[in-house]
Structure 1
Amino acid sequence: MSFEIIDNTFQVIVLAAMALLAFLLAFRRSSRSCLILAFGYASFMMGTLYYLLYLIILGHGPQVFYVAECSWMASYFFFLSLEILYWEGLRPPFSPFALAAGVVIAGVVMRVQVFGPSPLMSGALALTFGALAYLCFSALQKEKRLRPYEIALLFEMSLQILLFVASEFIRDYTRFSLYYAVDILLTLTLVSFLPHILREEPHDLH
C-alpha cells in the first residue's frame, strides 16, 4: 500500500477523533474555544478525507479543483477565530515587529504557493497566516511570552510551509520520506492544540 494513503488515513482518523472530542468537551464545558477548535479539526479532516478518497478512487491526488484546499483554508479561519477570541474585549497593541513578522510570513506563503498556483488560494492563506502571526507576536509584546497554543500554532504554520517545500523534492510518494515525517508531525501538532486550550481556559464557561 502507498504510504501516501497510510499517511492521509492516519490524519483523517486522528483529526476526526480530535474533532469529536473537542465537540463533546465544548458541550460539556459550554466552551466556545473547544467548539471553534472542533470546527477547525473537522474542516482540516474533511479536506484530507476528500484528498484521500480522490487518491483511492482515481489513483492520484486532485489536479485542478481546490476542494481540499478550501477545506484546509477554512480550518485556518477557525484557528484565527480562536486567536481572536483571546483578544475579545481587548485591543492588540500596535507592534512594528509583529507587523513585520506577519508581512514576512504572508510573503513566504505567496512566494512558495503553499496551496498551489491559484492567486486566490495563496492570497487567502497568506492573509490568514499573516494575521495569525501578527496577533501571536502582538500577544508576545503584551504578555512578554507566547501562550502554548500560539507556539504550537506558529510551529504548525511553519510545518505547513515546510511540507510544500519538501514536496518539491519528492518524486516517489509511495515510500516514507521527509515529506511524510513533516506531515505526521503537523498532524500531531494539530492534536496538541486541544490540551493547550484546555490548560489555558480550564473554566471557559460562557
Structure 2
Amino acid sequence: MGVLLSGISYRKSRRQAYFLLLCFYGCFALGVLYWTLYLLLFDTTPRVFYVSEFGWVASVIFLHILQATLSTPEERTFRCRRAWLAPAFGVPLLAFYCTYGDILSNLIWCGMMIELSYCAIRGLSYADTQTGAMRNMRWFHIGMLCFVYAEYLLWTAGCFWPDTSPASPTFWCDLLLTFAILGLLPATRRAVEA
C-alpha cells in the first residue's frame, strides 16, 4: 500500500522525497516478500544473515537518505544535547540483542536505528525553534522516532515471545510497526509542504 501511495505522490509531484519514500517502501516490501516465502516454504526463519535482511537494510538506507534530503544545512549543524539520548538508549539495547542473535546483524541494525533516531531528535529540536511551514518538519521527525521505537519494541518482544500468533505481544508489536511505516507517508507530505 505504501509503495502504491508514494508512487502516486511521486508521479503527481515529481518530488525527490516521494521517490526516496517509494524506494524505502519497495525495498521493505521485497524483504517482507522474501521472508514470507521462506517461512511458507521451509516453515522456519533463517538464523543467519539472510536475503530479506538486505532488502530491509536497503530500505533503512533510503529512509536515512530521505532524512538527509529533507533536512537543511542549518538543521544538520544544529547542536542538541537531547540527540545523545539515541545512543544512550540504543547501545544498551544493542548489547541486549547481541545475547539473542547474530552480532553482525545487530550491530548493523542498531547502528542504523541509532543514527536515524539521533538525526530525528536533533531535527525535532531544531523544528521546535522554527516558525511557519518549517515547523511542519517536526511531524516527519516524530514519524521517524515512531518507526525507530516500533522497531526496538518489536525486536525486544521477539526476544521474549518468539511466537507470532495473534495472542503473542510480538504480533501486536509487528502491527504497530506496520502502522508506523505507513505513517511515514503523511509525515513526509507535511515535511514536503515546508
TM-score of Structure 1 vs Structure 2, range by shorter chain: 0.7 to 0.9
Q: Which residue of 2 aligns with 1:8?
A: none
Letter of the 2:80 counterpart: S
Q: Provide the C-alpha distance between the structure 1 equivalents of 2:164 and 2:49, rounded to a whole number of angstroms.
A: 20
User: Is 2:42 the partner of 1:96?
Assistant: no
Q: Secondary structure at the match of 1:168?
A: helix
Question: Pairwise CA RMSD of aligned residues?
Answer: 2.2
**Of 31, 38, 50, which residue of structure 1 is paired with 2:34?**
50
User: Is 2:164 the partner of 1:173?
Assistant: yes
User: Is 2:118 the partner of 1:134?
Assistant: yes
Q: Which residue of 2 aligns with 1:182?
A: 173
Q: Provide the C-alpha distance between the structure 1 equivalents of 2:70 and 2:27, rounded to a whole number of angstroms.
A: 21
User: Is 2:108 the partner of 1:124?
Assistant: yes
User: How many Å apart are 1:88 and its aligned residue?
Assistant: 4.0
Q: Provide the C-alpha distance between the structure 2 equivalents of 1:50 and 1:44, rounded to a whole number of angstroms.
A: 10
Given that 2:34 and 2:52 are in contact with CA atoms closer than 8 Å, whether structure 1 keeps it comes out as yes
Q: 1:86 to 1:174 in 2, by over 3 A?
A: closer
Deviates more, 1:41-50 or 1:64-73: 64-73
Q: Which runs of 5+ in 2 are unaligned?
A: 130-136
Q: Provide the C-alpha distance between the structure 1 equivalents of 2:147 and 2:92, rounded to a whole number of angstroms.
A: 15
Q: Give the fraction of aligned pairs with identical amino acids, expressed as a percent.
A: 24
TM-score, normalization: structure 1?
0.79
Q: Provide the C-alpha distance between the structure 2 equivalents of 1:170 and 1:129, rounded to a whole number of angstroms.
A: 22
Given that 2:166 and 2:172 are in contact with CA atoms closer than 8 Å, whether structure 1 keeps it comes out as no
Letter of the 1:173 counterpart: T
User: How many Å apart are 1:126 and its aligned residue?
Assistant: 2.3
- Which of structures 1 and 2 has the larger relative contact order (alpha carbons within 8 angstroms, sep 6+)? 1
Given that 1:101 and 1:130 are in contact with CA atoms closer than 8 Å, whether structure 2 keeps it comes out as no
Given that 1:40 and 1:74 are in contact with CA atoms closer than 8 Å, whether structure 2 keeps it comes out as yes
Q: Provide the C-alpha distance between the structure 1 equivalents of 2:11 and 2:169, rounded to a whole number of angstroms.
A: 38
Letter of the 1:37 counterpart: L
Deviations 1:63-101 (A, max 9, x none): 324222222122111111111112244342122321x22
Q: 1:97 to 1:20 in 2, by over 3 A?
A: same
Q: Secondary structure at the match of 1:61?
A: coil
Q: Which residue of 2 aligns with 1:24?
A: 8
Q: Which residue of 2 aligns with 1:4?
A: none
Q: 1:72 to 1:27 in 2, by over 3 A?
A: same
Q: Secondary structure at the match of 1:64?
A: coil
Q: Provide the C-alpha distance between the structure 1 equivalents of 2:159 and 2:105, rounded to a whole number of angstroms.
A: 19
Letter of the 2:179 counterpart: L
Residues matched between the structures, number: 185
Given that 1:37 and 1:82 are in contact with CA atoms closer than 8 Å, whether structure 2 keeps it comes out as yes
- Name segments (4+ residues, structure 1) moved above 6 Å: none
Letter of the 2:97 counterpart: Q
